[in-house]
Amino acid sequence: MGCQQGGDQSSAITKGEVKLITLDPSHFHAALVQKSMYPGIDSIVYVYAPQGLGLNEQLNYINQYNSRPENPTHWVERIYNGNDYLQKMLDEKKGNVVVLAGNNLLKTEYIKRSVDDGLNVLADKPMAISTAGFDTLKQAFADAKEKGVLLYDIMTERSVAASILQKKLANMPSVFGELEKGTADSPAVIMESVHRYFKEVSGKPLIRPDWFFDPLQQGDAIVDVGTHLVDLVQWVCFPDASLDYAKDISIQSSKIWPTPINLSQFSKITNADRFPDFLKKYTKNDSVLLTHGNGSIDYTIKGIRTRITAKWTYDAPAGAGDTYYSLLKGTKATLEIRQGAEENWKAVLYVWPKPSTDTSGFSNNLANAISDINKEYPGVSLEKYKNTWKVVVPQKYDLGHESHFAEVMKRYLQYLKDGKLPGWEVPGMIAKYYTTTKALEMAQQ
């Protein structure tokens, strides 16, 4: 499972162009993959989808990117919108990389069918939202290895500058020491995200499909955006480690709770004038939808006590968007990312030395660490903040969430060229989806 060696498809890609297939796009992340152009990717994209909002919004976004004044893209979308779109895609096989972002209940089947037909897959998170889906996904990874194709998920949060720098400092013993073990009441790793139902994407209000609010189709918060948090725990704290979910992950507790959305808010998000019948079981007095918008997991990973929490609200405070918080407790220092009003809603990394740490020696070690970081990220600096330090990141490294999809695509293109993923990625993905789906199963019980 560690390395998916190149087979027929990946070998073909190393010799020619990547040809994209977009399958049933019903989430805006499918369009954001195409917000940029990439060397080595054919500009013709084959789209297979049913008629409806998802396809219409996908094409609207692509047209917007193609017609913008600065750095316009030049994608050409070839559309098939018959009801047999999935089988038609498999029969025609006009591309070699399937891009998936949409209904998460259907996504796991799409992944499995595409891989079994010898197609590479780049899938938006989450790739599985239930224990049954996890079992299917695990088999899909085994099949991908056998077929010689690359199955990979879109983890944009690894491209956030504050997270990159937190990871680097957490792996510098002179500054961070070692990761503490933590306790049940005081975990060593705490990560939390807050997402918004009503938001703008590429400068216009996002219209979400009504099924987005169905946990059976979109998934509860801890198996949806919680995937990003579990991924960051693994990526930041255990870089390059090939995790074994059966040995390295132990879930102590998990919980889920709703976010109320009234009909007026629901209508603004979806353009629908009523709650559909499949959501009625989640409504109160037919006027308030109790969405599955929040979840938390307490677990240990390689013996480290960890807590992740995913939350959703209707909208954001003025000037804000989705926000993120991260706390890592080391034996020499604590690394904290905040993204609140004081930070102007930008993710900012703080370094807090432990009270017992020699201040002068720590300052020198931290300055040397930033100097080393500057070799890769010139311009990163330190600023005194109360009794600690703030890591200052130049604007050129903070281009926003939408730009991160291009970073993921560039990484994936390199993996396709290499004919394999890094050895730790597949075990890490399997561990990640085990953590989220098992935690949901526990919370539901």
| Across 224-228, average pLDDT | 97
Global pTM value: 0.94
What's the total number of domains in the chain?
2
Residue ranges of alpha helices (H) inside 93-130 are: 104-116
As a whole number of angstroms, the distance between CA 320 and CA 111 comes to: 34
On whether residue 198 sits in a domain, the answer given is: yes
| Domain assignment present for 172 | yes
Confidence of residue 14 (pLDDT cuts 50, 70, 90): low
Q: State how beta strands 97-100 and 381-385 pair.
A: unpaired
For 154-280, where are the alpha helices, taking DSSP H only?
161-170, 173-176, 226-237, 245-248, 263-270
Same domain, yes or no: 268 and 328: yes
Confidence at 442, pLDDT banded by 50, 70, 90: very high
**Sign (positive or negative) of CA dihedral 373, 379, 382, 385:** negative
Cα distances (angstroms) measured from residue 260 to each of 62, 221, 233, 269: 33, 14, 29, 14
In a shared domain, residues 364 and 418? no
Shared domain check, 316 and 167: yes
CA-CA-CA-CA torsion sign (436, 441, 444, 445): negative
Asked whether the beta carbons of 324 and 196 are under 8 A apart, the reply is: no
pLDDT at 400: 82
- The answer to whether the CB of 295 falls within 8 A of the CB of 222 is yes
Pairing of strands 288-301, 249-262: antiparallel
On whether both 129 and 248 belong to a single domain, the answer is no
Quote the CA–CA distance of 421 and 151 in Å, as a whole number.
9
Q: Are residues 338 and 322 in the same domain?
A: yes
Question: Is 383 a domain residue?
Answer: yes
Distance, in Å, from the CA atom of 106 to the CA atom of 118, rounded to the nearest integer, reads: 19
Cα-based distances in Å from 41 to 97, 292, 349, 409, 415: 10, 38, 36, 10, 14
Q: Tell me whether residue 355 is exposed, middle or buried, using C-beta atoms within 10 angstroms of its C-beta: 0 to 12, 13 to 18, 19 or more.
A: exposed
Q: Tell me the two tokens of residue 27.
A: 């989430």
CB 153 within 8 A of CB 230: no
Is pLDDT above 90 for 232? yes
Mean pLDDT of 323-348: 96
Within 73-221, strands assigned E span 76-80, 97-100, 120-124, 151-154, 189-196, 200-201, 204-205
pLDDT grade, residue 15 (50/70/90)? low
Residues 381 and 241 in one domain: yes
Q: Are residues 318 and 414 in the same domain?
A: no
pLDDT score of 401 = 84
pLDDT at 11 over 50: no
Q: Is the pLDDT of residue 4 over 60?
A: no
pLDDT, position 7: 39
Q: Is residue 389 part of a domain?
A: yes
Q: Band the pLDDT of 359: cuts 50, 70, 90.
A: confident
Is 443 part of any domain?
A: no
Does 167 share its domain with 214? yes
Cβ proximity of 292 and 174 under 8 Å: no
Residue 1 covered by a domain? no
- Give the domain CATH number at 372: 3.30.360.10
Range 58-74 average pLDDT: 96
Same domain, 45 and 82: yes
Rounded percentage of the chain residues whose pLDDT exceeds 70: 96
Is-contact 266 272, C-beta < 8 A?
yes
Kindly tell me if the per-residue pLDDT of 278 is higher than 90: yes
Taking every pair of Cα atoms in the chain, the longest distance, rounded to a whole number of angstroms, is 68
217 and 365 inside one domain? yes
- pLDDT of 173-218, one tens digit each? 999 999 999 999 999 999 999 999 999 998 889 999 999 999 999 9
Q: Tell me, what's the pLDDT at 108?
A: 97
Q: Is the pLDDT of residue 1 over 50?
A: no
Query: The domain spanning residue 109 has which CATH number?
Result: 3.40.50.720
Residue 68 domain flag: yes
Q: With residue 290 as reference, give the H or E element that holds it.
A: strand 288-301
Average predicted confidence (pLDDT) for the chain = 94
In a domain, 3, yes or no: no
- Co-location of 76 and 30 in the same domain: yes
If asked whether residues 131 and 165 sit together in one domain, one would say no
Per-residue pLDDT tens for 287-303?
999 999 999 999 999 99
pLDDT score at 259: 97
Q: What is the pLDDT of residue 417?
A: 94
Is residue 142 pLDDT above 50, yes or no?
A: yes
The whole-number pLDDT of residue 285 equals 87
Q: Which domain holds residue 226?
A: 158-399
Give me 275's structure tokens: 């709650």
